[in-house]
Amino acid sequence: MVPVTRCSVRLGRAMSDQLKILYQSKDVLVVDKNVDTKINSNDECANEVTVAKQLARNVPHLIDNTIEFGFRFAHRLDHATSGVLCIALNKTTAGTFQNCFSQRKIMKHYLALVHGHMEDRCLFIDVPIGRSSIHTDIYRMCVSTSPHCVQPVKRSTTVAVCLETGLYAGAPASKLLLIPLTGRTHQLRVHCCHIGHRIIGDYMYSDRTDTQPPRMMLHSYRIHVPVKPQPLDVTAPDYFVSAIDPSWQATQLFTTYKAFCDTFYNQGPNKSALNITDLNPKTVTVELEMS
């Protein structure tokens, strides 16, 4: 058996086969996806780094030649998003993940650095999302109130918690915990734009102007999946700290990630259920118009 390679992840663009494995069992492999890396690609360009290629180099004994790209990715992350990514190592586990996602039983937490200081400590964003019709060269989404939004428009909900405020490269910024309660394409990026706090380094949703940061500051931080016999609960490193990225300097702490989870998540058997009633967030909402 080929040993698993555990390499460090760099803050900048992924230009090599480096890949950090966060967890592995006979059923699941969880990796810390590098920033600016596609999960897989039909493009045969030999120089393009993808997670599938990184896995093939790091854990070749886990390749399944009966499926495309050799691995069953249990969910997706945007090209520019880093962090926790799960790979099912057999059909049964892949089916379990699919059922948990469809029943919205999976808890996913993201960290983000966004432009500006978010005044509200917590927001419940209930704003539908659809495809933008004016961007034909890229797959871009928008909120349903945009005049360019086309069907199908789907309800999209996100909880945004302000952990810290401070400065990024000398400009006001906030560190947010983002909890998607639905799983729409680009949901977190669109919702952050809608509340006036675009994610730092988001090239697409800044109309290709936010080019100074080394990456888009969105990171898949934690996932909790209620699989048996033991739930899968994996957390990635937090890269949005000044020790790793000196451009980020926190000046005010509102809550820590641990304190938030200890306070607002059920402490019984279903520890992944967010207690929104006690959270009492300010609501940002747009009604979903039925066609």
Which among 107, 74, 112, 86 is positioned nearest to 219, based on CA atoms? 112
Length of the chain: 291
Backbone φ and ψ of 59, nearest 5°: -135, 65
Q: Which of 78, 126, 202, 245 is catalytic?
A: 78
Does residue 36 carry a catalytic annotation?
no
Q: Rounded distance, CA 48 to CA 71, Å?
A: 17
H helix runs in the chain, sequence order: 51-58, 91-102, 187-194, 257-264, 276-279
Residues 175/94, Cβ–Cβ less than 8 Å: no
Element (H, E) at 177: strand 171-180
* 14 token code pair: 């992924």
Fill in the amino acid letter for 203. Y
* CA distances to 27, 77, 163, 249 from 88, in Å: 6, 15, 32, 37
Q: Rounded distance, CA 194 to CA 219, Å?
A: 19
Strand order from edge to edge, sheet including 149-154: 141-143, 129-132, 149-154
Give residue for tokens 């669109």. 190
User: What DSSP letter does each residue of 3-37 carry, written as one string?
Assistant: PPP--PPPSS---SS--EEEEE-SSEEEEEEPTT-
Q: Half-sphere exposure of 61 toward its Cβ, with a 13 Å CA cutoff?
A: 6
Taking every pair of Cα atoms in the chain, the longest distance, rounded to a whole number of angstroms, is 56
Q: Which residues are identified as catalytic?
A: 78
